[in-house]
A and B are shown apart, each in its own frame.
Chain A
Amino acid sequence: DAGVTQSPTHLIKTRGQQVTLRCSPISGHKSVSWYQQVLGQGPQFIFQYYEKEERGRGNFPDRFSARQFPNYSSELNVNALLLGDSALYLCASSRQGGPSNQPQHFGDGTRLSIL
């Protein structure tokens, strides 16, 4: 089992640019969640997608958007990048979405640096 895979591993952008991060869930997992982890803090929830529909959204501006594809992979898009968007972006997958006790499996993350 390859686990959750994310690409790219590192990315450097400048303010105002746009970025797309990608995530492939574990085979058989239909739910994908995105988290932002700023240095020294715990991960913060951004989005959850299940069966290609948004099931939850954290307290992030509309510059952040995401989608899930028929093969359950997902993309996170961030527009008009700000210095404060510099962080590790984590993707997690689980078998189901919604109020269940399914553990989430995390990828290694994409390290995004904004200059």
Chain B
Amino acid sequence: AQRVTQPEKLLSVFKGAPVELKCNYSYSGSPELFWYVQYSRQRLQLLLRHISRESIKGFTADLNKGETSFHLKKPFAQEEDSAMYYCALHSGSRLTFGEGTQLTVNP
């Protein structure tokens, strides 16, 4: 069975500092991984997906199959990045979500 682990429930950084949100997964097949974000009073929305290898809002995430990780990184955090971030694994018909990390970027 697949499993997604986000070890940090809360993460607090200062504006301009680098930020890394950790995600580890357990899956026997070839994983399809996503990061979703939920800003205050907004709906859950897709941030990025590993297959696209893109940078969205300055965020990147690299799939490391050896370490079974898909950490989300941004070199210089902004206050508007404050939100709840969920890592998710897609397999078959479903998304399996981690428990989420609440990121707070302080001025």
Contact = CB atoms under 8 A, between A and B. Distances in A.
Q: How large is the interface on A (under 10, 10 to 19, 20 to 34, 35 or more residues)?
A: 20 to 34
Interface string A32-64: 010100001111110010100001101000000
Contacts of A106: 36, 43-45
A58 B96 CA distance: 10
Interface in A81-99: 90, 92, 97-99
A99 B44 contact: no
Nearest to B9: A40
B97 A44 contact: yes
Contact of A98 (B46, B49, B86, B92): B92
Nearest to B48: A103
Interface of A: 3, 33, 35, 40-45, 48, 50, 55-56, 58, 90, 92, 97-99, 101, 103-109
Interface of B: 4, 32, 34, 36, 43-46, 49, 51, 86, 88, 90-100
